[in-house]
Amino acid sequence: MVEIPEGNGSGVVWDEQGHIVTNYHVIGNALSRNPSPGQVVARVNILASEGLQKNFEGKLVGADRTKDLAVLKVEASEDLLKPIKVGQSSSLRVGQQCLAIGNPFGFDHTLTVGVISGLNRDISSQTGVTIGGGIQTDAAINPGNSGGPLLDSKGNLIGINTAIFTRTGTSAGVGFAIPSSTVLKIALQLIQFSKVVRAGLNVDIAPDLIANQLNVRNGALILQVPGNSLAAKAGLVPTTRGFAGNIVLGDIIVGVDNKTVKNKAGLDKVLDDYNVGDRVLLIIQRGSEDLEVPIILEEKS
């Protein structure tokens, strides 16, 4: 099973303006009250150079449940704020040394060392979603490490520690981090917009259970297409009922550009790499035909 460590969380100083990046689930209790940006949702301790801990109110900037990330802001002086240097998670290799910093079991600023033991793992988040592209490490990650940095040997951020695989509640040598490429993309949007703007097709896709009941075993089945959407203008066909009450399947999306789509989650994962306004080529099955449909992506509602 995959379990998200809980307890006193950790975070990273993102910039000199006082933005702090952490996990969504670290401040999940406060977020469950639906706070608006600017409200205090956490206490943030920053270690000063003389070894003293300084305490600040962490005000919400924005949070993204689907990537288990959140951004807070503290009013701290610039001499206390040492922004993290963001490395390239795309160039990581299995066997590479990495370091995890966090607050396991309340032991402040603990450093553990290990190697990257796997790449492109799917992380099952406590927030109920699957995060793709995860980094697996054998560096000890325990409750309280959540939201803290995973660093390369040069001290660059390569991930945000977020999960452990365990049956005891403590580290079993299999930890997971959200890659820095994802952190960078999400953090910048949260700072700019207080939310994440995702690209989508603005159509209703059948959940896997319904798709299976309709004998759709491969691809993402379109249930509905709003009349004023770009998908409607592109000619995508929804699922309907025939004159005899039988179900007539709509278009089944089996690919986007050169990427294969196997189900609804697969479509979401593929579209995650695109931005609103991007033009993509959908590969669809319509009855016995395979068609290519160009379409411009809209903001996902």
User: How do the pLDDT tens digits run along the chain, 301 residues long?
Assistant: 344 444 478 999 999 999 999 999 999 889 988 899 999 999 999 987 777 889 999 999 999 998 999 999 999 998 899 999 999 999 999 999 999 998 887 787 889 999 999 999 988 776 667 788 999 999 988 888 889 999 999 999 999 999 877 666 666 778 999 999 999 999 999 999 999 999 999 999 999 999 999 999 999 999 999 988 899 999 999 999 988 889 999 999 999 998 999 999 899 889 988 999 999 999 999 999 999 999 999 998 7
CATH node for 199-299: 2.30.42.10
| Helices and strands of the chain, counted as H and E runs | 5, 22
Which residue is associated with the tokens 């032991």?
107
Query: Catalytic residues, which ones?
Result: 25, 68, 146
Contact residues for 268 (Cβ-Cβ < 8 A; gap 6+): none
Spatial CB neighbours of 288, under 8 Å, sequence gap ≥ 6: none
CATH (residue range 1-196): 2.40.10.120
Cα distance between residue 69 and residue 278, in whole Å: 24
Q: Where are the domains of the chain?
A: 1-196, 199-299
Rounded CA separation 144/106 (Å) = 7
> Do 20 and 183 form a contact (C-beta atoms < 8 A)?
no
- CA 181 to each of CA 67, 73, 90, 190, 291: distance values in angstroms, whole numbers, following the listed order: 12, 21, 7, 14, 33
In angstroms, the CA 187 to CA 155 distance is 19
d(Cα 21, Cα 180) in Å, to the nearest integer?
11
Cβ atoms of 125 and 63 within 8 Å: the answer is no
> Letter for the amino acid at 301?
S
pTM of the model: 0.83
